[in-house]
Amino acid sequence: MSLQVERPQKPCHHGPVTFRKARLEDAARITDIHNQAVVNRCCCDTETCTVEERTPWIEAHMNAGDRYPLYVGEADGEIFGYGYLTEYRFGRPAVAGTAEVSYFLDFAWHGQGLGQAFLEFLIEEARAIGFENLVAILMASNARSVGLLQKLGFELWGSMPDAVKIGDLVTDHVYYGLKI
């Protein structure tokens, strides 16, 4: 499924934004974007990975059917980010109405409204799939993502104090939720 959204309000030199399901040929770009988040300590992974290491994760999303999709965002034919829904608390039917949402943008594309467009798209996809709740689990030190989640109505549902330790960085692991 593709969705075209309006260009962001901020000045942007890029054309229309679209979202589509990821394909195997996107693995290198997805890996590059993921590794940026690792290097910049914006996620809980501590080591970068290769395309070969990331490909099985992409294939698992592709084989999961329509319930837990992996998408890429594109502008002018270039992938600027990826986002996905995953099962919250694997194998626990009592929480099957809740999905975890995650999104990552290439740092060169930050500040153009693309993260908001991507998260809005993922919320709508989750609603269409039939989820009742979305939860974003992230590091409290990731101020940009925390701000975006709050802007779109997510509320702090929980915090694990000082649970994340990456080198000299110690921060809370926080749960932001949205009833959809």
Q: Tell me how many domains the chain contains.
A: 1
Do the domain assignments include residue 140? yes
| 99 is a domain residue | yes
Domain of residue 158: give its range. Answer: 15-179
* Main-chain dihedrals φ then ψ at residue 16, nearest 5 degrees: -60, 150
The DSSP secondary-structure symbol of 7 reads P
Q: Which of 178, 67, 75 is nearest to 119 (CA)?
A: 178
**Cβ partners under 8 Å of residue 130, min gap 6:** 97
Q: For residue 5, is it within any domain?
A: no
For the chain, how many residues are written? Answer: 180
Answer whether residue 110 is part of any domain. yes
Residue 142 and residue 43: Cα distance in Å, rounded?
8
CATH assignment of the domain containing 80: 3.40.630.30
In a domain, 160, yes or no: yes
Q: Does 1 fall in a domain?
A: no
The model carries a pTM of 0.89
Q: Is residue 26 part of a domain?
A: yes
**DSSP secondary structure of 86-152:** EESSTT-GGGTTEEEEEEEE-GGGTTSSHHHHHHHHHHHHHHHHT-SEEEEEEETT-HHHHHHHHHT
> Over the stretch 23-60, which tens digit does the pLDDT of each residue have?
999 999 999 999 999 999 999 999 999 999 999 999 99
Per-residue pLDDT of the chain (180 residues; tens, 9 = 90+): 333 333 333 345 567 899 999 999 999 999 999 999 999 999 999 999 999 999 999 999 998 888 999 999 999 889 999 999 999 999 999 999 999 999 999 999 999 999 999 999 999 999 999 999 999 999 999 999 999 999 999 999 999 999 999 999 999 999 999 999
Comparing CA positions, the residue from 75, 77, 134, 76 lying closest to residue 103 is: 134
pLDDT digits (tens, 9 = 90+) for 64-79: 888 999 999 999 889 9
Is residue 103 included in any domain, yes or no? yes
